[in-house]
């Protein structure tokens, strides 16, 4: 009889809201908002949050601009996720954001196939993957860095000029 009561207590502890067994993509032990409490208390929302976190990490790994992606995610959290007050609303928000991340992953994978470039191309012109339709681009600098374990590394510095300005307003440095 005692072992049955102990098993029930252990089961309740594991199923308690905020327990690590229902962990989301964030630490449920450090909840800061009511939405986070709702996510940690609901196994389905926790699973969706974990899936969203995994897809975001995958998108981040493929992205050429991880800082912008992180900024977009903060905007999504503040503007779409955090204002939700119901489980249904949060489920819809997560479903839409997961679909958007899946689409981004597919697009980034398709672009990834076109990212291979040789040194001569990088020296002669701006990389197509970094093209900015609102600006002209020129190769400002190119140099070989060295070789590590048989792999040659080089860098290129590209200067971008918005069409209305006509001189480089920003640069990108690419190591490959």
Point out the domain boundary residue: 91, 112, 133.
112
CB 157 within 8 Å of CB 137: no
pLDDT for the residue 115: 61
In a shared domain, residues 130 and 84: no
Separation of first and last alpha carbons in the chain: 66
In a shared domain, residues 93 and 154: no
Burial category of 3 from C-beta neighbours within 10 Å (exposed 0-12, middle 13-18, buried 19 and up): exposed
pLDDT for the residue 101: 95
Point out the domain boundary residue: 76, 91, 112.
112
pLDDT for the residue 131: 66
Number of folded domains in the chain?
2
String of b and e for 7-46 (b: at least 16 CB within 10 Å)?
eeeeeeeeeeebeeebbbeeebeebeeebbebbbbbeebb
Q: In tens digits, what is the pLDDT along the chain, a chain of 176 residues? A: 444 433 333 333 334 443 444 567 888 888 888 999 999 999 999 999 999 999 999 998 888 788 889 999 999 999 999 999 999 999 999 999 999 999 999 988 887 766 666 777 777 877 766 667 777 888 888 888 888 887 788 888 888 887 777 677 778 888 87
Point out the domain boundary residue: 112, 134, 160.
112
pLDDT for the residue 65: 84
Beta-carbon-side half-sphere exposure of residue 147 (alpha carbons within 13 Å): 4
């Amino acid at each position: 009889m005692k072992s049955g009561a102990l098993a029930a207590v252990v089961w309740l502890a594991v199923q308690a809201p905020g327990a690590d067994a229902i962990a989301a993509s964030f630490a449920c032990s450090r909840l800061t908002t009511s939405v986070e409490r709702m996510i940690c208390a609901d196994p389905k929302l926790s699973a969706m949050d974990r899936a969203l976190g995994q897809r975001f990490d995958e998108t981040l790994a493929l992205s050429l601009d991880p800082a912008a992606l992180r900024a977009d995610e903060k905007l999504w959290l503040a503007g779409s996720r955090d204002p939700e007050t119901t489980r249904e609303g949060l489920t819809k928000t997560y479903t839409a954001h997961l679909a958007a991340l899946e689409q981004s992953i597919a697009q980034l994978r398709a672009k990834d196939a076109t990212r291979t470039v040789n040194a001569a191309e990088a020296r002669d012109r701006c990389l197509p993957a970094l093209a900015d339709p609102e600006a002209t681009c020129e190769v400002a600098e190119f140099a070989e860095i060295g070789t590590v374990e048989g792999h040659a590394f080089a860098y290129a510095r590209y200067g971008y000029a918005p069409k209305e300005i006509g001189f480089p307003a920003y640069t990108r440095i690419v190591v490959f």
